Structure 1
């Protein structure tokens, strides 16, 4: 019989495979558990960000009024996207303020007071008219990063159709605009500053610039800008702003401007049948509306990042189309539809000048130099040899006069005389350079050489010298311009034998109503000998100014005023 295995010999199951299966199950479960936890953490992080755990934050933006409406609309669009920056919910608020005013306030630094009523809160993002307005901020630690343009519009001339046709026919450049064309140059206007730089660049053959300070102070640039500014300021009621000038031109106001430097966009917005545009040949100044991220006190990292993100948002093609629709140009997009105004062709873009250069040009526009016939009468008595700030009074005066000679127009006639007492104690007056046009070769250099060679000594004999110079000026009267004698003297009393009565009598005898010559006087230092000179000045229609120190910048400003 066969044998059977006993019941106690049952077969067992190996533990190894079971442990492997359990381990796999645990690994899979752990993976999915970790994944779920990770997703939950991410969701919680996004939820926390979405709820702005750091709170709400306002991004203050200041924009020039010329583009503020478009910036405001884009701010609304951006805010509607519920932007979050560094766990802050961002709301953009736009304030409109003139670019020049904001630039001046930023230049003053964070410690200076800020006029919230006029400018809005200190901005984290500023959009001025042009990069031309950033020059004063160079080196001031006010700008964060490199500002980039949002939109642009070239500076062209608004003019009547007939005027524009004449300019087109002549292919006029900024320097060759007709002399009888009254161009609006309101002081303080951004457009005026940009046009002044364009004129200076053309006159100085600076190409696309930037115009240098030396070029701005040259006689040629001074003459060209002064002629334009004087013509504008001689209007019965010169417009005080570019907008006012455009209004006068559009309305056809008589005895007003015939051309207005303005952005192409602003002209198109106000153009009618009486107004079109002309783009002068040469480099064109452009209002490029840069997005300036402002740095400084009170502006944190969140505000700076929000400003940068908002600027990027405005540059997106579907957003920047808003600028194009308003008449601005945007890089990469088609030219705007300007209606009756044809978009200007830009051959080259003028580079902005430095703050110093812009200030020099602005000073010419505000204080233009008119061609005149002037005799400069210098006191070279011992009293002018007094040390005054490291140099003698005489040396300081000579430097101030030399500076003004450099900016006086070639059409001016200038002569130079000096006076003191001779070695014999008698009054001595010398004609160093007879009156003549500054256009003559080497005349400026000749006058400068004599001024630099003056030496102080002897007593003062201002009364007889003034009487003689005044009579000569009346006899040589040059019609069609201001005729004057500029006496620069110390306050030391006259030491000649000529009396007050004799001087006043000599002035009265030499005077001629049909040949008006004004006596302007600069008195240096403290003293009492001014009443007689004041009388002479008053009787001839001149001005007397006292200057305490010849090292004071007020001296140069006074010389400029009296020879302009």
Structure 2
């Protein structure tokens, strides 16, 4: 019996395991297939649902970004595309265009050249609110929503490797005062800061602001009107080297190609941290990286705003998509991508590595930025100091429709006269019968502002309104006088402030035939919606000028600063 039980036990233990394994595998395969089918069904249903949500078709969101961050913005755009965004029943694809901020501003406010710039964008990432403010000053209706910073970058001084260590005590307020390297020890001769045109280069604009702030800021209109500010601007303009590069990028290239200190014709140049990082690591990186010096004291900061654009070229789907992408860019995961691209963001301390020449020094205090209007005034004040200043002849509309607007126009003109450090200024007025039968009158002949400041103030204060508005006849006379008084080697311009169209006198064709070419640009500040913008644009393009459109007289001061801060 015991043997029989033993045999039966052996038989039980000897049952084969492979049939059980097969069953388990089959069950698992079945469960896996079912799960895969379920997941696939969910994905299919989701795709079908999204396809149904895209019943308005596809739409492309185009974002223009300043070159230093265009690659990082494009990386964020790819991450957004993975989410298959749908806005207003449109499937959104996104395209990021790397374009200089000055080119975008010129295109948005003038004629957009799609051959050079690509298709017109629906959103814009310049390197500073300076550009958004300028766009608002030229045409506020093109700004679709409140700009939002996607990251920041402090301003540095880019210096050759040998020069950087001795500048560790440098302050931005030293720029107007320091003229020799011996201030810091070395006998390297003249110390000069290359300041490419601040109207087109953010780093220069921020550096000038920091030089005048005298502390944590902000620079105000009262600051600019002070004798101390005028003296500082005069000194700073005097320290600028004879041949200034047109762009910060070119200034960096010349510094990087120089074997010794001052071999570039200047000593240092201001630059944002991210721009220096890109310069030192890009395709055309110098053999020896330039070194970024963070000056002592409050640091001016480029704030890289995301600007949703508006206007007839921006549809509702693109406008909503631009806003949605803006919010996506500020999420922590996307901020990390921007940080890897060289921007500073609050959600991470990540920094690119390697980063030759850039130490990512901690910033203990930011300079408080000037407001939008003061920023424009500061650029114009610099333009009046640099290279002896501009030659500006103003033609002011004093027709009856200007009556409720005239006080603001007077204040803007008076402020510009008071802030002007050098250069020449003149004033004309026009309506219909202002000077006997003539629709225009020269109130102050164009001449050195330092000599004519009091006469200009009196003439501005005495402006009053008349009937009619013979713009074309008046502009023709003003233009001829300004052309006869043209000063070689300076920026010469005629600036017209008006709120209406021409209602008599010569016609547009006759005026254009009288204009003598593009050596004397005519720029317009057009107030309100009654102006003939097409005609003004025609005149401006014929002469190489510009048209700034402001909704009301409150925008005149900022627009005036913007126009007079440009080099053409």
Superposition TM-score, scaled by structure 2 size:
0.55
Report what 2:359 is aligned to: 342
Q: How many angstroms does 1:219 deviate by? A: 3.4
- Cα distance change of structure 1 residues 266 and 526 upon mapping to structure 2, 3 Å threshold: closer
State the secondary structure of the residue aligned to 1:66: helix
Q: Which residue in 2 is equivalent to 1:368? A: 385
Query: How far apart are residue 332 of structure 1 and its match?
Result: 1.1
1:334 is displaced (CA, Å) by 0.7
Once the two structures are superposed, the pairs formed by residues 313-462 of structure 1 within 5 Å of their partners are: 313-337=328-352, 338-368=355-385, 407-408=420-421
Q: Which has the higher contact order (CA 8 A, sep 6+)?
A: 2
Q: Is residue 2:229 matched to residue 1:221? A: yes
Match of 2:194 among 184, 188, 197: 184
Distance 1:200 1:546, change over 3 A: closer
Mapping of residues 158-557 of structure 1, within 5 Å: 158-169=158-169, 173=173, 175=175, 178-180=178-180, 181-187=191-197, 188-202=200-214, 207-209=216-218, 211-234=219-242, 237-252=243-258, 254-271=263-280, 273=288, 275-337=290-352, 338-368=355-385, 407-408=420-421
Match of 2:27 in 1: none
Aligned to 2:70: 68
Give me the CA root mean square deviation.
Answer: 4.8
Cα–Cα, structure 1 residues 201 and 46, in superposed 2: closer, same or farther, change >3 Å? same
> What is the CA–CA distance in structure 2 between the aligned matches of 1:165 and 1:124, rounded to whole Å?
44
Higher helix share: 2
Determine helix, strand or coil for the equivalent of 2:348.
coil
How far, CA to CA, are the matches of 1:403 and 1:293 in structure 2? Answer: 31
Question: Rg: which structure is higher?
Answer: 1
Q: State the alpha-carbon separation in 2 of the partners of residues 195 and 170 from structure 1.
A: 13
5+ residue gaps, structure 1: 1-39, 373-387, 391-399, 413-443, 454-523
Indicate the SS of the match to 2:230: helix
Tell me the alpha carbon deviations over residues 387-440 of structure 1, each in whole angstroms, 9 at most, x when there is no partner: x989xxxxxxxxx9997686448xx9xxxxxxxxxxxxxxxxxxxxxxxxxxxx
Equivalent residue in structure 2 for 1:120, among 115, 118, 121: 118
C-alpha change, 1:101 and 1:358, in structure 2 (3 Å) is farther
Aligned ranges 1:118-157 → 2 under 5 Å: 118-138=116-136, 140-157=140-157
Give distance in 2, aligned partners of 1:525 and 1:90.
Answer: 50
Is 2:384–2:421's contact at 8 Å kept on the other side of the alignment?
A: no
Q: In structure 2, do the counterparts of structure 1 residues 285 and 406 end up closer, same or farther at CA, with 3 Å as the change threshold?
A: closer
> 1:368 Cα shift?
2.5
Distance 1:334 1:230 in 2: 40
1:137 CA displacement:
3.5
Q: Secondary structure at the match of 2:56?
A: coil
Contact 1:159-1:260 at 8 Å conserved across structures: yes
Q: Where does the alignment leave 5 or more consecutive residues of structure 2 unmatched?
A: 1-40, 181-190, 281-286, 390-396, 400-412, 424-449, 460-477, 497-521, 525-559
Q: TM-score with structure 1 length normalisation?
A: 0.55
> CA separation in 1, counterparts of 2:388 and 2:480?
32
How far the C-alpha of 1:262 sits from its partner, in A, is 0.6
Per-residue Cα deviation, 1:85-118 (whole angstroms, up to 9, x for no partner):
2221111011122112323444x3xxx5432233
Counterpart-to-counterpart distance in 2, 1:176 and 1:80? 51
